[in-house]
Chain A
Amino acid sequence: TQLLEQSPQFLSIQEGENLTVYCNSSSVFSSLQWYRQEPGEGPVLLVTVVTGGEVKKLKRLTFQFGDARKDSSLHITAAQPGDTGLYLCAGGSGSSNTGKLIFGQGTTLQVKP
C-alpha cells in the first residue's frame, strides 16, 4: 500500500517567515502534485512535478521532487496571510493507469499578520 506522510500537519507562523512542508514515502510515484484548499472549497492545483530532482517555482513557492521520486517539498518564502490554507500533496501511482491519487494528511498553515 502506497502512503504519503506529510509534515507538519499544523503550522502557525508570522507574516514574513519562511516555511517548508514535506511529503515522504517509501514508494515511487510517477508524478506528484501540490494543492491548496481553502475552507468550503475544492483543492486547487498548484503544481505537478514528474521528473526526479525537478524544481519548480511559483512566485514565492518552490516545489522540489526528490531524485528517487519518493519525496517532495514545498517551500514558501516570506509567507503572507493570503497563504493561509490547507496544503495537500498527492502522488500519482506508477503501478497502474487508474489515475488514482494518494493524498498526504495535509498541512494546515496559518500565517498571522
Chain B
Amino acid sequence: GAVVSQHPSWVICKSGTSVKIECRSLDFQATTMFWYRQFPKQSLMLMATSNEGSKATYEQGVEKDKFLINHASLTLSTLTVTSAHPEDSSFYICSARGYPSYNEQFFGPGTRLTVL
C-alpha cells in the first residue's frame, strides 16, 4: 500500500523559533499533498493544499506567511512553522495523493509540536 512518512514525529521548541516538518511519500509519486492540523479529540482541519512545483493554496484563516509550505518534488513536501508561539502547539498531519489512486489520500503518522 501507499506509505507516507513524517519527520520528526515530535518536536519541542522555544517560542519565536521556526520548525520544519517533512512529509514524504515513500512508494508513490504524490502530485498533491495536504497539510492538516488536529486538536485533541477533534477532527482534522485542512490548512493548505500543495501541488508539486506550484504555490500552496491556503484555507481561509490560515496565515501563509506563518505556515510556509514547499512541495519541490513528487515525494517531498515541507511545512515550516515560523516564529512559533505556544498557540501553534498541535498535532500536524500531512497526506498525499497521486498515481494510481487519485481518489484517496494516504496519511502520515503526524508530528506533535509543542512550543514552550
Contacts and interface: CB of A to CB of B under 8 A. Distances in A.
B53 to A, nearest CB: 16
A40 B93 contact: no
Contacts of A106: 41-43
Nearest to B42: A106
A44 to B, nearest CB: 7
B112 interface: yes
A42 B103 contact: no
A41 B10 CA distance: 11
A90 B104 CA distance: 10
Main secondary structure of the interface of B (DSSP, over half): strand
Contact of A88 (B4, B44, B49): B44
In this complex, the interface size class of chain B, counting residues with CB under 8 Å from chain A, is 20 to 34
Interface residues of A, number: 26
B44 A33 contact: no
B103 A48 contact: yes
B93 to A, nearest CB: 5
Interface of A: 6, 30-31, 33, 35, 40-45, 48, 50, 86, 88, 90, 92, 98-101, 103-106, 108
Given A42-B93, A98-B49, 6 more contacts: A40-B91, A41-B109, A45-B105, A90-B105, A101-B46, A108-B41
